[in-house]
Structures are given as C-alpha cells and as structure tokens.
Amino acid sequence: MLTLVTGTTGQVGRRFVPRLLAQAGPGERVRVLVRDAARAERFAELGAEVVVGDLRDAEALGKAVAGVDAVVNVAASFRGVPDEEAWAINRDAAVDLGRAALAAGVQRFVQVSTGLVYGVGRGRPLTEDDEIRPGGEMWGAYPESKAAAERELLALEGVEVRIGRLPFVYGDGDPHLAQSLRWAAHWAAAQRLQMAHHADVAQGLLRLLYAPAVSGPLYNIADDAPVTAVELHQLNGVEAPADLYARTDPDPWFGIMSTQRIRRDLGFRPHFPTVWAARDAGAL
C-alpha cells in the first residue's frame, strides 16, 4: 500500500507523517508532496518518498498520485491569508487532487476538514448528520471553502472519500495553544473551545485511512473535554482579564462536537482525553 500525504510541512502534517511512517507495516510506503525539497529531508530520512511540486500544478499532481493506493489531504490555507488563497487551496486544489486521484485509480481519499463547517451551534454537541448552517463569529472563507471541498469530493464517483473534521489542534510544541489567547481574551469566561492533541488527530486519521469499512463518510475527531476561556489563560500562564467575567457567551454550543460515531465505528479513544492530561504528561 502506497499512501500520499499532502500538507506535510504544516502544523498537522509535519506531526502526522512521522506517526504514519512509524506504524507502517511490511509493504506499506509513504509519499509526501512538498514545494520545498529541503523541508522534506526529515521525512526522507524516516523513509518517505518525496515528490516536489505545488498542489495547484496539474503535472505535479499527476506525479504525486501515480501508483498510489490512498491519499490523505492535510493541506489547508487559513488564518491570515486572503480569501482567494483560502478558496484556491481548500477547495480548488483539494478537488483537483481528488480528481487526479480518481483518474490514477486511487481507492481511498481521506480529506482533513474542520468542525467550523457546522457553522452555528445547535444547543447540543454537533453530530456528523447535522447540516451546515453558515454563520457565527468564526464563519468565513476558511470554513466555507472547506465545506465546499467536502461537497465536491463526496460527489466523486469511483473513489471512497472519508472526511475527518478537526477542532482546535494543539500539542507537540505547536504554538497554536499560545495563539488561542488572540481570541480567548475577548470571549466570555465560560466560553468553550473544543480541542484535540496532535497525537489524537493522527490516531483518528490513521483509523480513517486503514479501516476496511466505515458507516461515514464524515467523522468528528476531538477529545473529551472542551476548555473555557479562563482555562486557556491558565494553560498559558496568563491571568484572565477581568472583563471576561462580565461577558456572555452568545452561542454556548458553538464548535462542540460529538465523537460518538468515531468511537463506535472505529474504536477511537483519545490518548489525551483533556488538555490537562496532555499538560501533566509533558505533551504540550
């Protein structure tokens, strides 16, 4: 089995690929698509094949998917990029990759998406059967383009598409946790953030990649305990601003996802059920 992974130099991809390589069995190979060969040296040392090219280049895509059995598309563009780039990477390039995979005879396509596609909260944990409801303070080009990519990839006939929707991802030295204060400083004290450690994101994606059958195709990947704005300040060793306690959470169930399906279907159990467990284990 040969698996192609894209987005390997991003925060998720650079932590996922070593875990994928570490558990590869006899006859299982990993190929990575990168724009800069120098940034793939670490993966090559671990045993990955390297294809140099841009996700938006048709010729590069053809080389990347040649002979591949499965694709894990981790590539994403978000936070601080122009809307045009978000759409170009998150939808257009993802769909082009899906079509190239289909043409090359790829059997399985795992698309990494985001829980932000759900939009507004529903007064309960979000499930994979919930329709997309655009809106909320985090709605914009990133979730909208990811939702569009999901729709178009799922419409492809001849390749099995499985989609993992991620929450806020942290751990393994990812600066994301410190960056959370950019938003949490302006939240209500009890406003919550759904999270998942990189180890559990990798676990979830590996289960989607290797499971012989799923009831999906959509799966939420998250830990067991969303954290509050106050806790985010505590985790970062910063005192929470006093005005947090005067604010009201406008949508208390925004972004809070159920993991019942991935637990039931694929046996997923977080290695780090809470961010506090990750902190105590020295895994932040």
Domains and CATH numbers, the chain: 2-172+195-222+257-271 (3.40.50.720)
Give the separation between CA 50 and CA 53, rounded to whole angstroms.
Answer: 10
For residue 80, the one-letter residue type is G
116 near 138, Cβ under 8 Å? yes
CA 203 to chain centre: 12
Strands 218-220 and 160-166: parallel
The sign one gets for the Cα dihedral 85, 90, 92, 94 is positive
CA 269 to chain centre: 17
CA 283 to chain centre: 19
pLDDT at 136: 84
Q: Over the range 238-265, which residues count as b (16 or more CB within 10 Å of their CB) and which as e?
A: eebbeebeeeebebebbbbbbbebbeeb
Q: What is the pLDDT of residues 202-212, one digit of tens each?
A: 999 999 999 99
pLDDT at 39: 87
207 near 265, Cβ under 8 Å? no
pLDDT at 138 over 90: no
Q: What is the pLDDT of residues 150-189, one digit of tens each?
A: 999 999 999 999 999 999 999 999 999 999 999 999 999 9
Average confidence (pLDDT) over 13-33: 96
The mean predicted confidence, pLDDT, of the chain is 96
pLDDT at 81 over 90: no
Average confidence (pLDDT) over 117-140: 94
Average confidence (pLDDT) over 233-255: 95
Rounded to two decimals, the pTM is 0.96
Q: Which of 34-38, 116-120, 144-148 has the lowest mean pLDDT?
A: 34-38
pLDDT at 137: 82
Q: What is the pLDDT of residues 42-62, one digit of tens each?
A: 999 999 999 999 999 999 999
Tokens read off for 107: 């059997």
Tokens read off for 77: 């563009």
Backbone φ and ψ for 2, nearest 5 degrees, come out as -115, 125
Give the separation between CA 218 and CA 241, rounded to whole angstroms.
Answer: 38
Q: What is the pLDDT of residues 91-106, one digit of tens each?
A: 999 999 999 999 999 9
219 near 128, Cβ under 8 Å? yes
Average confidence (pLDDT) over 188-214: 97
- The percent of residues in the chain predicted with pLDDT above 90, rounded, is 93
